[in-house]
Amino acid sequence: MTSEPTPEQAITRIQAAFGEPHGDYRTLHAKGAFYEGTFVGTAEAAKRCRALHLQGEEVPVLVRWSNGGGRFAADGAQDVRGMAVSFKLPDGTSTDLLGQTAPRFPVRTPEAFVQMVEAAASPVKLVGFLARHPSALGPLVANGRAKALIAPKSYAEATYYPVHAYRWTAPDGTESWARYVFRPSGAAAARLPDKFSGRDRLREEILARLAAGPARYTVEVQVAGTGDDPHDPMSVWRSTDVFDAGTLTVTGPTADPEENGGLVVFDPTRVVDGIGLSDDPILRYRAGAYSESVTRRVG
């Protein structure tokens, strides 16, 4: 069995893979910005999960759209895009979901994830990575077919996958496993006639789009059926129990909460009453890795 890197080792290796000076910004998804909006859950979500933000009352959200890689990459570069959402509950707590544009996660251990990031920078390393992790090929091909790495016309037109399953507890105590997708609704129709083509074209486009009106997403949930594994980020679920859990509305940019020494950490293990974590080894690893990245970016 391959041993897993400590969070310190993982962050050092990921930062080395980008070959950029690493200052006060995120180790991954360094280029991005903050936005604000709201979320309203559906009656079906309230029936299946007792978490406060799913009870139908509008709650505020903080969103960060990002590119997956380096701080200095052009927005048109081949890369995944991220959409991190923090739901602010009426009791003052919050819970986060971090989505990215790849529908399939290609690895199931932290060491394999770090090797994949290292391999992404070089075709030779990629061949070696695939030789060591042949099971990654299918998901990588599927992500290619889904155009997950092709820069979208707009952050608002991409579909985002938070990957991990979370345990939902219903008001009557019934438990189920839920996986989310953020699906844009009406985004193509809201496309602007203007052309955006510079290095920061996604940021420029989204600012212009939001000035004209909000960007909306359906938060789709798939509930695991028999044989669907909630603890494996690579698993493909067969369940047809899929429903609309609510609408996420991004209304506009927000003042950068990190500008004057503030700190924002979107953490996929930050959950609230009614929501629990799976034993997915990638999910469990992330909090430690993010915390190491935070330690380095705040000095």
- C-beta of 107 vs 210, nearer to ligand HEM: 107
Alpha-carbon torsion, ordered 263, 267, 273, 279, to 10 deg: -160
Rounded CA-CA distance 23/20 in Å is: 9
Contact flag: residue 126 with ligand HEM (CB under 6 A)? no
Distance CA 193, CA 183 (A): 22
Is residue 108 at the binding interface for ligand HEM, with CB under 6 A as the rule? no
Beta sheet of 242-253, edge-to-edge order:
94-100, 81-88, 59-67, 32-41, 242-253, 215-223, 175-185, 165-169, 275-277
Backbone angles phi, psi at 92, to 5 degrees: 90, -10
Query: Is residue 293 part of the contact set for ligand HEM (CB under 6 A)?
Result: yes
DSSP state of 134: G
Residue 177 near ligand HEM by CB under 6 A: no
Binding piece for ligand HEM, criterion CB under 6 A, among 37-45, 93-101, 124-132, 139-147: 93-101
Instruction: Verify whether residue 231 is a known catalytic residue.
Output: no
| Chain position whose Cβ is nearest to ligand HEM | 82
List the structure tokens of 187.
Answer: 């985004």
Token digits for 91? 């009791």
Site for ligand HEM in 53-92 (CB under 6 A): 64, 66, 82, 84
Task: Show contacts with ligand HEM in window 24-53 (CB under 6 A).
Answer: 26-29, 32
Q: Is residue 286 close enough to count as binding ligand HEM by CB under 6 A?
A: yes
Look at residues 83, 114, 87 and name the one whose alpha carbon lies nearest to residue 100: 83
- Taking CB under 6 A as the rule, does residue 297 contact ligand HEM? yes
CB 171, min distance to ligand HEM, A: 28
Report which DSSP code applies to 162: -
Residues forming contacts to ligand HEM in the complex (CB under 6 A) are 10-11, 26-29, 32, 64, 66, 82, 84, 98-100, 105, 110, 113, 162-163, 265-266, 282, 285-286, 289-290, 293-294, 297
**Active site positions, annotated:** 29
